[in-house]
Copies of this chain bind each other. A is one copy, B any other.
């Protein structure tokens, strides 16, 4: 069984801070500075160009991909880490569209994180071939899967409310009707159990700087189903995905039947080093334990806020099975309130227009943290200085 008091000691969180924003940027593992110092001295400084071979830099995208894949139910050889999530969305979507060449509808939802929609827009403009992006309410996605849909591209856990899509149901219906599905796991990976292999997911993408704690701007990941690896078209066809990258052919031939073909160009090895250190913590974690613990803490948080914080109302699904690992509350003065919380060391975040988000991350959050956060929130609310605060600060939302 996972010992969360042990994982808690593996992070360096400033004294007095209750960090409820691991859903946005995970905190630093204590091992990171030494691991990075070793990378800089023993690898870059000492090995120089040889590091690509002697220190495993060249295949690190794959090795780390396997470790991230393990957290989302992917078998080895199906996942790589690289690039930004926006790029990985584009790459998955371009490939998926080509798999259903006679249809012209991409189905997402208006609760998806905007960059996914933006990347789809750009890709559609680039192809200029009659594509349509449909974005119903998240609740209507399942019904909106019709026979003209080529690709369903949705984020499993809503970045604002924490609402979860029903992965199994969407996949089943989409596959039945001949559509390909792309899952954005930005708020799932390291947050909740995901079973990419068992659910026969086509494509998944996600990031590693949130729950996985890989550091600001840590690389994204992409998963491709084993059955697609030999035919998936890597339109972002860079030399890192070439079958013989060091023969310097003038024409592109993707690595046959390997996730390696979804690699594009040269990746930051320093960023990989931080991610590797963060993944060491996950070696101690069982996802079922994590899920159980997240729910316990979230239930405690919700119950406490609802009983002690009038005017603050739950904006996440009440049923824990319908939520990811963050909890959102709606509050008219949410922006100013979040600023007040942050100034007192309780760090969550705000999403326009009135959502306060709190990440429930058992790797480093326990009951005492939850109770402290609610106490601070309760005190702030008791002061009732909202009208002055909010107009002064609202324009600074970034």
A interface list, Cβ under 8 A from B: 12-14, 17, 19, 21, 24-25, 27-28, 32-33, 36-37, 40-41, 44-46, 48-53, 57-58, 83-87, 90, 94, 110, 113-115, 117-119, 121-123, 125-129, 135, 207, 209, 215-220, 233-240, 242, 245-252, 264-272, 274, 342, 347, 349, 351-352, 397-398
Contact = CB atoms under 8 A, between A and B. Distances in A.
A127 B122 CA distance: 12
B218 A268 contact: yes
Contact of A235 (B45, B46, B51, B126): B126
A73 B134 CA distance: 44
B237 A270 contact: no
A267 B220 CA distance: 10
Contacts of A270: 36, 215-217, 268, 270-271, 274
Contacts of A44: 27-28, 32, 215-216
Contacts of A46: 14
A276 B86 CA distance: 24
A62 to B, nearest CB: 15
A362 B347 CA distance: 48
Contact of A264 (B19, B45, B84, B248): B84
Contact of A119 (B58, B118, B128, B237): B237
A48 B237 contact: no
B86 A347 contact: no
A217 B398 CA distance: 29
Given A48-B25, A84-B264, A239 B122 contact: no
A45 B15 CA distance: 11
Given A84-B83, A266-B85, A266-B217, A238 B49 contact: no
A352 B51 contact: no
Nearest to A41: B33
A209 B268 CA distance: 9
A352 B248 contact: yes
A15 to B, nearest CB: 11
A315 B32 CA distance: 45
A155 to B, nearest CB: 13
A25 to B, nearest CB: 5
A77 to B, nearest CB: 20
Contacts of A84: 83, 238, 264-267
B398 A246 contact: yes
Contacts of A216: 44, 51-52, 57, 266, 268-270
A6 to B, nearest CB: 20
B33 A48 contact: no
Nearest to A216: B269
A14 B47 CA distance: 9
Nearest to A60: B217
Given A58-B398, A87-B83, A115-B238, A24 B49 contact: yes
Of A51, A115, A121, A125, the most chain B CB neighbours within 10 A belong to A115
B40 A32 contact: yes
A256 to B, nearest CB: 16
Contact of A94 (B37, B126, B349): B126
B27 A37 contact: no
Contacts of A245: 114
Contacts of A51: 25, 216
Nearest 4 A-B pairs (CB), nearest first?
Answer: A84-B265, A86-B265, A86-B238, A122-B237
B235 A265 contact: no
A25 B49 contact: yes
B268 A117 contact: no
